[in-house]
A and B are shown apart, each in its own frame.
Chain A
Amino acid sequence: MGTSPLALGGEWTIAQAAALHEQLRDALATGQLHWDLGAVTECDSAGVQLLLAARRSAQAQGAPLVIDPASPAVRSSLQRYGLDHLLTA
């Protein structure tokens, strides 16, 4: 558990937010805190917000959330919001 990163690809958008939310909650519940977002095709504000919420949950568990690798879509959205530090954390 936790050795290989959890791949969470596809669209990180408002349209998928509800389904993604479920998935992320499951990941946190099982302690999967290393996420592979290399295959994310799109990431809007809803996606960013999910990442921020996930980071908060992870902090509550006392463990850092690791996002590696991140697709250009994720990278550019986080940069846009001045949240690049989420990637290196």
Chain B
Amino acid sequence: MTALFNDDEDAEILAAAREGFMEEAVELLAQFEQALLTMEQDPADSEAVNSAFRAAHTIKGTAGIFGFDAVVKFTHEVESVLDATRSGDLSLNEAAIALLLASRDQMEHLLDDLGPGEPDPALAEHSATLGDQLRALRQAPGGATAVAPATPSAKAAADTVNELAVWHLSLRMGIDALRNGLDPMSFIRYLDTVGEVRGIRTVDELVPALEGLDPESCSLGFEIRLATGADRQAIEQVFEFLRDDCDLQILAPDAPSEAYEQLLTARCTDTASRDALLAHWQVLAGPNEKPFIERREEAEPDRRNNEPERRAGKTDRRAAGGEDTRFIRVRADKLDQLIDLIGELVIAGSGAQLVAQTEQSPRFAEAALRIHDLVQAARDGALGLRMVPIGETFSRFNRVVRDVSKQLGKEVELQITGGDTELDKSMVETIADPLMHLVRNSLDHGLETPEQRLSAGKSAQGHLALHAYHESGAVVIEVSDDGRGLNRDRIFAKAVERSLISADAQLADEEIYQLIFAPGFSTADQVTNLSGRGVGMDVVKRNIESLRGQIGIASQPGRGATMQIRLPLTLAIIDGFLTNVGGVSYVMPLELVAECLAVPPECVAQPDQVTGYFDLRGEVLPYLDLGRFYRHEPTIQAGRRSLVLVRDGQHRVGLVVDRLLGEHQTVIKPLGQVFQHIRGLAGSTILGSGEVALILDIPALLDQATRQTVPGHHAPATGLTR
């Protein structure tokens, strides 16, 4: 019984760890891909090679822990190629990068295949094929001798900065290093990129005779003289992966013989091994260099000088190790619970402030205000935990653009800006698919082939840009291209053909462009395997609207098109502006409120009119009377009414309300099923007094206000559809 329980528990822990690995693997594959794409552009980028190597290495290592042999075996081949590349034994051409990209996909498929059930035999076969190709790459006669351009230039750069000096490295491998897939040889080869190995002695005193040898254990040690202009940190970095599987001591070029003395004591337990190591050093020092260890008397005063050096080395190590712990993984639902809790705190805080106001106690009010400020800070902090930069999502399009443009025979350069713009993690996940569709749409329909571009007087290479930024409380994401732009007339004709509009409809360009988001709409004459199947654009719009966002289109024939997605910063809590209409509280997002005015005379001229236009300092703007729109009893409209000017991107609209109640922190609660079909409402919230307030969906209202004033458009006179 107990055993069974333990098994269950183990299985649970293992399953959780496995899940963690899968998540990590996805990130690592992304890192790998990114590095390859960088290498494709600039083969001399040694940082990219390292990054790809590290990613492959970590995937292999972790897969090994879980016993995913198929992944380990295949990734090993990938890693070997990158290892040869980073040590300068192999340079990668375009075909090699393509092979590595294909290998990345294979790694992903292998990881996907790990679930229960039999592994896919076709997949294993593909692994073998790619594995052979990778091995062939590594053993190709040209490749083996070619020196990657990264190596000499990096070394030269290091040399010019610093004088060459000879460091001493003493390395003892951990017994499990080989078993863990860490071959010291690749690290020693990699030393070539930092400096020149002037001498190396393999310490084999601990290697037993064959009879006593465990062939998978490692008993090797190395004493290395390295001439380099690099610093200690750079040398340590070479052995970064080995950190847990080796004991590395680095002695600076000016290390006194006392330091060597200490090393000797640390390394050797008996006189025999002491003599052996001294002999190694003798050989390394050669006849011209002075021996590492001199007479003790001379060395003594240097002891203290050497201390800081050693210590500095240690802190470096810890700092490097600290990088791993800078991030912690937190379950998303824990975070959601925290945000919920803070939401309740916000409501309770508003309640306290309300009490303070009614009690008319200045000290209480002051205390409540202080709490309010802190709650606000805590709210921002908690929401910040969920915020992630969009750059990661953007960067995966590098591969998409590369692959798709090759497939279509187009030349496309992807430009990414604003990648550090942050938005809610859940939104990042939801937005990835619509973005993918928009990017593919641009590649497929927007951008022309090089010949078409040249004959249109444009550069052969098309440009696709992903751009993100914050604007008035929203995150804006733009996908733009310099292709042929949207064909207004063709969209119009298609929409008439699909009876989405009548043939005599008068529509602005923007409205016509929006038609491509209608369900079942597609203008592609030929259905390709990428897009143009008529599904997608409506789904794109639905996805974006489910995030309380909108999508807009700007297009110039022959010059290109821009799809602009606007998303709210967060889904949970907003700074609201509280108003009262007909005794009901309405909240609008504070960021969207531009100004508050007394109701202009135009809005009261006709008592039954829901919408119309008014004059704001010479500018004509639409207005919407919320009391009439939601059919509140006009009798309660006592006292001075106000007009709240709200803006949404480029557009502005005035909303007529009964009373202004001021700022309010608003925790967004979803509307119940019954109310979901009411227009212009984004959700509800609970006020400090316990009353329910309704959150206005400003973009939808703006749409209503402008649409209802367009003549000839069949819009219902009321916001309620029942």
A17 CB within 8 Å of chain B: yes
Shortest CB–CB separation between residue B307 and chain A, in angstroms? 31
Smallest Cβ-Cβ distance to A41: which chain B residue: B139
Smallest Cβ-Cβ distance to B222: which chain A residue: A81
| With known contacts A81-B200, A83-B202, A14–B183 Cβ distance under 8 A | yes
Among A41, A57, A80, the residue within 8 A (CB) of B185 is A80
A46 CB within 8 Å of chain B: yes
Point out the residues of chain A lying under 8 angstroms from B208, CB to CB. Answer: 53, 56
Shortest CB–CB separation between residue A71 and chain B, in angstroms? 12
Contact between A25 and B185, CB atoms less than 8 A apart? no
Smallest Cβ-Cβ distance to A22: which chain B residue: B215
Shortest CB–CB separation between residue A54 and chain B, in angstroms? 5
Point out the residues of chain B lying under 8 angstroms from A20, CB to CB. Answer: 215
| With known contacts A46-B216, A52-B204, A77–B210 Cβ distance under 8 A | no
Question: When chains A and B are docked, how far (Å) is the Cα of A17 from the Cα of B208?
Answer: 15
Question: When chains A and B are docked, how far (Å) is the Cα of A61 from the Cα of B220?
Answer: 23
B669 CB within 8 Å of chain A: no
A7 CB within 8 Å of chain B: no
Question: When chains A and B are docked, how far (Å) is the Cα of A56 from the Cα of B209?
Answer: 5
Contact between B213 and A50, CB atoms less than 8 A apart? yes
Smallest Cβ-Cβ distance to A13: which chain B residue: B183
**Interface size of B in residues (CB-CB distance below 8 Å):** 26
Shortest CB–CB separation between residue B210 and chain A, in angstroms? 4
Shortest CB–CB separation between residue B684 and chain A, in angstroms? 63
Among B178, B188, B202, the residue within 8 A (CB) of A46 is B178
| With known contacts A24-B210, A57-B211, A45–B185 Cβ distance under 8 A | yes
A68 CB within 8 Å of chain B: no
Residues of chain A in range 27-76 having any CB-CB distance to chain B below 8 Å: 28, 41, 44-46, 48-50, 52-54, 56-57, 60
Contact between B202 and A57, CB atoms less than 8 A apart? no
Point out the residues of chain B lying under 8 angstroms from A25, CB to CB. Answer: 210-211
Contact between B185 and A52, CB atoms less than 8 A apart? no
Point out the residues of chain B lying under 8 angstroms from A48, CB to CB. Answer: 185, 202, 220
Question: When chains A and B are docked, how far (Å) is the Cα of A52 from the Cα of B210?
Answer: 9
Smallest Cβ-Cβ distance to A25: which chain B residue: B210
Point out the residues of chain B lying under 8 angstroms from A52, CB to CB. Answer: 202, 204, 207, 220
B218 CB within 8 Å of chain A: yes
Among B179, B188, B220, the residue within 8 A (CB) of A49 is B220
Point out the residues of chain A lying under 8 angstroms from B178, CB to CB. Answer: 14, 17, 45-46, 49
Shortest CB–CB separation between residue A3 and chain B, in angstroms? 23
Question: When chains A and B are docked, how far (Å) is the Cα of A41 from the Cα of B135?
Answer: 11
Among A45, A57, A80, the residue within 8 A (CB) of B209 is A57
B201 CB within 8 Å of chain A: yes
B445 CB within 8 Å of chain A: no
Question: When chains A and B are docked, how far (Å) is the Cα of A60 from the Cα of B213?
Answer: 14
Majority DSSP secondary structure for residues of A touching B:
helix
Interface size, A (range): 20 to 34
Question: When chains A and B are docked, how far (Å) is the Cα of A15 from the Cα of B139?
Answer: 18
Question: When chains A and B are docked, how far (Å) is the Cα of A60 from the Cα of B202?
Answer: 20
Contact between B220 and A45, CB atoms less than 8 A apart? yes
Contact between B202 and A81, CB atoms less than 8 A apart? yes
Point out the residues of chain B lying under 8 angstroms from A45, CB to CB. Answer: 178, 183-185, 218, 220
Question: When chains A and B are docked, how far (Å) is the Cα of A60 from the Cα of B199?
Answer: 29
Point out the residues of chain B lying under 8 angstroms from A18, CB to CB. Answer: 215-216
Contact between A21 and B185, CB atoms less than 8 A apart? no
A82 CB within 8 Å of chain B: yes
Point out the residues of chain A lying under 8 angstroms from B216, CB to CB. Answer: 14, 17-18, 46
Question: When chains A and B are docked, how far (Å) is the Cα of A24 from the Cα of B210?
Answer: 8
Question: When chains A and B are docked, how far (Å) is the Cα of A28 from the Cα of B213?
Answer: 14
Contact between B183 and A49, CB atoms less than 8 A apart? no
Point out the residues of chain B lying under 8 angstroms from A50, CB to CB. Answer: 210, 213, 215
Point out the residues of chain B lying under 8 angstroms from A41, CB to CB. Answer: 139
Contact between A49 and B219, CB atoms less than 8 A apart? yes
Point out the residues of chain A lying under 8 angstroms from B199, CB to CB. Answer: 82
Contact between B185 and A44, CB atoms less than 8 A apart? yes
Contact between A56 and B202, CB atoms less than 8 A apart? no
Residues of chain A in range 1-23 having any CB-CB distance to chain B below 8 Å: 14, 17-18, 20-21
Question: When chains A and B are docked, how far (Å) is the Cα of A60 from the Cα of B207?
Answer: 14
Contact between B218 and A49, CB atoms less than 8 A apart? yes
Question: When chains A and B are docked, how far (Å) is the Cα of A81 from the Cα of B199?
Answer: 9
Question: When chains A and B are docked, how far (Å) is the Cα of A59 from the Cα of B607?
Answer: 111
Shortest CB–CB separation between residue A43 and chain B, in angstroms? 9
B189 CB within 8 Å of chain A: yes
Question: When chains A and B are docked, how far (Å) is the Cα of A46 from the Cα of B218?
Answer: 7
Residues of chain B in range 638-674 having any CB-CB distance to chain A below 8 Å: none
Most buried by A among B200, B208, B215: B215
Contact between B215 and A80, CB atoms less than 8 A apart? no
Question: When chains A and B are docked, how far (Å) is the Cα of A48 from the Cα of B203?
Answer: 12
Question: When chains A and B are docked, how far (Å) is the Cα of A53 from the Cα of B219?
Answer: 10
Question: When chains A and B are docked, how far (Å) is the Cα of A82 from the Cα of B281?
Answer: 13
Point out the residues of chain B lying under 8 angstroms from A14, CB to CB. Answer: 178-179, 181, 183, 216
| With known contacts A81-B185, A81-B222, A82-B199, A46–B215 Cβ distance under 8 A | yes
Question: When chains A and B are docked, how far (Å) is the Cα of A28 from the Cα of B207?
Answer: 17
Question: When chains A and B are docked, how far (Å) is the Cα of A24 from the Cα of B213?
Answer: 11
Task: Bits for B221-248, please: 1 = Cβ < 8 Å to A, else 0.
Answer: 0100000000000000000000000000
Contact between B213 and A53, CB atoms less than 8 A apart? yes
Shortest CB–CB separation between residue B98 and chain A, in angstroms? 24
| With known contacts A80-B188, A81-B200, A17–B215 Cβ distance under 8 A | yes
| With known contacts A45-B183, A45-B218, A82–B213 Cβ distance under 8 A | no
Question: When chains A and B are docked, how far (Å) is the Cα of A18 from the Cα of B199?
Answer: 31
Point out the residues of chain A lying under 8 angstroms from B201, CB to CB. Answer: 82
Question: When chains A and B are docked, how far (Å) is the Cα of A44 from the Cα of B181?
Answer: 11
Point out the residues of chain B lying under 8 angstroms from A60, CB to CB. Answer: 209
Among B189, B200, B207, B218, the residue within 8 A (CB) of A56 is B207
Question: When chains A and B are docked, how far (Å) is the Cα of A15 from the Cα of B232?
Answer: 34
Shortest CB–CB separation between residue B169 and chain A, in angstroms? 13
Known: A52-B220, A80-B185. 20 other contacts (CB 8 A): A24-B210, A28-B210, A45-B183, A48-B220, A49-B178, A49-B207, A49-B215, A49-B218, A50-B210, A52-B204, A53-B208, A53-B209, A54-B210, A56-B210, A57-B209, A57-B211, A60-B209, A80-B189, A80-B200, A81-B200
Chain B residues engaging chain A, CB cutoff 8 angstroms: 139, 178-179, 181, 183-185, 188-189, 199-202, 204, 207-211, 213, 215-216, 218-220, 222
25 A-B pairs whose Cβ atoms sit less than 8 Å apart in the complex:
A14-B216, A17-B178, A25-B210, A25-B211, A44-B185, A45-B178, A45-B184, A45-B185, A45-B218, A45-B220, A46-B216, A48-B185, A48-B220, A49-B207, A49-B215, A50-B210, A50-B213, A50-B215, A52-B204, A53-B207, A53-B210, A56-B209, A57-B211, A80-B185, A81-B188
Closest 4 pairs between A and B when the two form their complex, measured CB to CB:
A17-B215, A21-B215, A82-B200, A57-B209
Chain A residues engaging chain B, CB cutoff 8 angstroms: 14, 17-18, 20-21, 24-25, 28, 41, 44-46, 48-50, 52-54, 56-57, 60, 77, 80-83
